[in-house]
Structure 1
Amino acid sequence: MAARVLFQRRALAPLATIALSGMVLAPSTIYAEAPTEFKRKPIYDDTDFPSTIPSPLTPPKAPSTAPVDDETKPKKLTPTDRLAIQIGNARLFLYQYAVKAEDAVNSTMDSAFDLEQSFTKTIADLAPSRESGERLMPGAIYVLVAAMAGSIVTRNRSIILRSTLPLAVGIGAGWSVLPVTMRNISDLVWKYEERVPVVAQAHLSLRNSLEKSASFVKVHKDIGARYVDDKVTDTREALEGWVRKGK
């Protein structure tokens, strides 16, 4: 068995030697496989440089004189078109007047509302404040009664007294009963009088004359009261002297 194996190895040795010698004596080129998608990158970049040679100039084209179409020509207005234009102008005219009338009405209403607010604010400002403790209702009744009393007193007198005395009595009663309200009324009257300088000047002169008259009357009243007191004192002393002498 061992001899058979040895014999086989010896028989294969000459065959291997023949194959190697054949490969050496008849060499062949062996190509390696490479992927088909592989592309070699070039060494220099492919850059497109513009050409320095200028392109030949082309002469400008002459404007073509195309025939004018009938559509571009102005069309002649038909009677219907002219009527539509006139109606549009009339509508614009009426719209402008309607807008003007609306603005006038709005301005009138705004002025009326402003006047109403001014009137209510003025009346509210005439009322006395709560801190003053003045009440309008009984005071106004007292002023009205005083004015009626002055009218009754001057019933058979001249027209001047019948027109001035009740007013004077009512104003005096108002200053004595409703001083805060009368002060507010006088301030309001003075504010309106300042708009007319002549009336304001006349008011100031009348006020100064009345103040002077009041001061004059007050001084003479004090003098008269002092004179009466002196006379009463003298009379009393004389009577007391007579009484003492009679005793």
Structure 2
Amino acid sequence: MILSIFKVGIPVASSGVAYLYCQRPLLNDSKRNFYANNVINPAPGRPQEEDSQLAKLVEERGNAPQSALERGLEQSRLKLDQFLDGIKQAYVRQSSAYFRKEREVTDTIASLHDRRELLWPNSIYILTGFMTGLVFTRKSNVLLRATVPLACGIAAFGFFMPSTFHRTTDWFSGLEKEKIPDAYNKQAEIIRKTGVLVQKSESLKAENEKLVSRLYAKTRKTIGEITGLNVDNPVTGKKE
């Protein structure tokens, strides 16, 4: 029995080993060939050529005539881009102008203030002067209620912060001369004439004082000659 099994099994086993040894393994060549075109290792710096079908499709798409809808959408998009770009440029210009003007104003204010003069207490004093003018003119007409508080505030400003006040007035004079030269020239002429008038008034006052002194001396001398009295002697008290 055992001998018959060996006689049958040995040939069958030999045939199976021979079959497995001679059979060619499955390498899945179909999938490897499918991905073979994508495995490219070009040399560095060498341009790659596009696929001919893809290049042909792109060329056909680029040369294809546009429809009316496509042309309208393209024109609308271009106009919208131009409009938004114009808004952006206008915003940039206005912002730059605003910040430049703000920087000029802050620099001007900083240059007008004399650091030796304190802002905190002096500003309170100036505000007090302005409010004092309001109190004085609370029952007056509109003109006085508008001018007197302003004059009181300016006077307090000039009294408590004289250096800053002088710089501010000089700056306003330069600004007026630059922006409205005609008004500045007329104002300067009025100030000049007023100064001349003041000088003439002072000189006339001195001349009048001299004239009155001469008349007084002459009158005394005339009275002394007529009465025979010595008017130059000082007046003394009555003798007992």
TM-score of the superposed pair, with normalisation by structure 1? 0.48
**Which has the bigger relative contact order, CA under 8 A and spacing at least 6?**
1
TM-score of the superposed pair, with normalisation by structure 2? 0.50
